[in-house]
Structures are given as structure tokens and as C-alpha cells.
Copies of this chain bind each other. A is one copy, B any other.
Amino acid sequence: GYGRTGIQYFENTDAQDAAGLNETQIISRLRMNLDASTSSEQGVDFGARFRLQWDQNSATRGNQGELNAGKLYVTSSGLTVEVGNVDTAFDSVNLLYGSELGSYDRDLVRRGAFFAYDSDRLAGQFVQADVDVDGDGDVDGDDLEELSTYNGIAATYAIEGLKARVSYIDPDQSGLTSDDEELGFSVDYTWNERLELAAAYVMDGGAIEDNDIFFIGARYAVMENARIGLNYLNASNDSAADVGDTITLYGDYTLADGLTNIEAYVANNNDDDNETDNAFGIGVNYDLGGARLGASLQRGNDERVTADMGVRFDF
């Protein structure tokens, strides 16, 4: 897991200014992964993970650390199959988050809606069952339980520089509420530690009907200490979660000290809701060995500015 803390600034709207909302706050995160695993005599590995996470100022995880839903997995000969709260194919693809900046690893690039490994309790999968849940022949108070029937299945195959993934998320296994399921694919390839290629596709992302998203990205190390990447994400799908198309150009450069890394991106999104089509940001990270200091300054498609400065350490 890791810990991070620092200061984040978010430019207020006029309404927020009027209400007196502070623009600068201290935001921290503490994440601990609890992993357990065992190996069978045939060389198959079985494992599982819980996550404890606290996000300062978060509505759902700010008050106390929260346990998430579990993930179980089986690994053998490069193939990993996961069940439960899985890492989805689309969310896990390389380069998708390549433009993130600073110690908080955040950017203002619009990517649309899709499922990911959930650090929180599973949300939006509650079913108010009005059927005979307990099977006693009557539909009564005992049957009005909230069911959480989210399930994910994901498979990853890794060989040399290639990774291929497929995932299937059914937010309601009971079939009582949601009809749509998310199906995702992704593949990425790294050549000679120099060229990275990635592609992903998700159908009914986030179990939202017709929310199909396509992603393709590439990054090349033009020098030993400099990389340039270009991402294209197509979420123009006329669904409820349509966020248009996004083209992101990003790169990073490591100074001669070998510790300071400068990052930047500019992203063009053609969604009609935008105040401006171009979002951009610049960031820096300084490696402490085991920890890093970082900062970023960004402006989003809503023409508002945000900045952060902080420290992150991994354990």
C-alpha cells in the first residue's frame, strides 16, 4: 500500500465562493492491501485481497478507513483469473492514465464511465428484493433485504512484453434490477523497454446501455530520459455517459540528476458541455528513494484551475 498527503487547491465557482468554501485543503490517503495466498501441489497459485483505505475529505472514505469487497484469484503459467471485485480490462490497460501528474497522480482528462477495482464498498448494486428471498412461500418483511449481487470475472494473460485482458461485470447477478453488463477487452505491448502500445474496448461501460468506449495509445522513449505519448479515447456513443472524443499528448523528462521528473499533458475533448475543449497541466516529481515529492498545476475543460503539492511513500 501507500500513504500520501499534501495540499490541493481547487478554484471555486461563484456559488462556492459565495458560500465561503475554502479552495485549499489538506488531502491525504492511506491504503493498505491485505493479501493472502497459497499454492497447490500442481503449481497453481490461489490468492485473495482486501484493501483498507482512508481518503481524507472523501464523502465515502473520509470518516474512517473502509474495507472494500474482496477479490479472489487463481494464477498458473501466466494466466490469472479473478472473481469478485476484479481489476477490469479497460481500467487496467497501460498508458490510459499515462498523463497523470505529481504526487497525487491526477489529471483532468475526461475518460467516461466504466467499472474498475473498487477501493470502496460496492455501490449501486443494491436490490430491494420484493420476491420470496427466504423461500418460505410468503413475501413479507424478511424478504425486503438489500442484496448486493455485484460480480466480476476477469482474465489476464501475460507473456514477454504482452498483456491481454478480458473482463465481464454483472452489477446485479440476481437479474431483478439491472439488465446491462459490462464487457471489456484490452491488450498492451512493450517493445525493448522503449515503445509502449495499448488498446482497449469496453461495451456498456459501467453497465450503462450503449456506453461503448474505445481507447488506443502509444508512448515512445525518444531519449534515455524522455518519453512522449499520444492517446485517443472515443466515448462518443450517444449513451447517458457520452463524454465525446479525447486526444491527449503527454510526456515526461528526467533531469540530469536522475531524480527530478518533469511531466506535462494537453488534452483536447470535443464534448458539448465543455467551457473549453483543451485541458492541460504540468507537474514534477522528485525521487527521495522510497518516497517522492510532487506538485502539479492544471486547468480543466471547465476552465477552472487546480494545483497540488505533496509527498507520497510506498510500503
In the bound assembly, the distance between CA atoms of A52 and B130 in angstroms comes to 30
Residue A120 is within 8 A (CB to CB) of chain B in the complex? yes
Contact with B along A56-100 (1 / 0, CB 8 A): 111100111111111110100000000110000000000000000
Chain A residue total in the interface (Cβ 8 A): 86
In the bound assembly, the distance between CA atoms of A311 and B58 in angstroms comes to 37
Residue A151 is within 8 A (CB to CB) of chain B in the complex? yes
**Do A25 and B68 form a contact, CB below 8 Å, given A32-B50, A48-B30, A315-B36?**
no
Interface contact A291-B40, CB-CB below 8 Å:
yes
Rounded to whole Å, the gap between the CB of A164 and the closest CB of chain B is 22
* Copies of this chain, count: 3
By a CB distance below 8 angstroms, the chain B residues around A121 are: 63-64
Interface contact A176-B58, CB-CB below 8 Å:
no
By a CB distance below 8 angstroms, the chain B residues around A29 are: 70
Interface contact B3-A57, CB-CB below 8 Å:
no
Residue A16 is within 8 A (CB to CB) of chain B in the complex? yes
Contact with B along A38-52 (1 / 0, CB 8 A): 111110101110101
Q: From the candidates B5, B147, B153, name the one contacting A84 in the complex (CB within 8 A).
A: B5
**Do A28 and B66 form a contact, CB below 8 Å, given A16-B131, A52-B34?**
no
Contact with B along A1-34 (1 / 0, CB 8 A): 1011100001001011011111001101110101
Q: From the candidates B42, B69, B122, B291, name the one contacting A38 in the complex (CB within 8 A).
A: B291
Rounded to whole Å, the gap between the CB of A121 and the closest CB of chain B is 4
Can you list 13 contacts pairing A with B, beta carbon distance less than 8 Å?
A5-B83, A16-B132, A21-B175, A25-B173, A29-B70, A40-B291, A44-B291, A54-B69, A56-B151, A57-B148, A63-B69, A64-B67, A65-B68
> CB within 8 Å of B: which residues of A?
1, 3-5, 10, 13, 15-16, 18-22, 25-26, 28-30, 32, 34, 36-42, 44, 46-48, 50, 52, 54, 56-59, 62-72, 74, 83-84, 120-122, 125-126, 129-132, 135, 137, 139, 145-151, 153, 173-176, 288-291, 302, 304, 311, 313-315
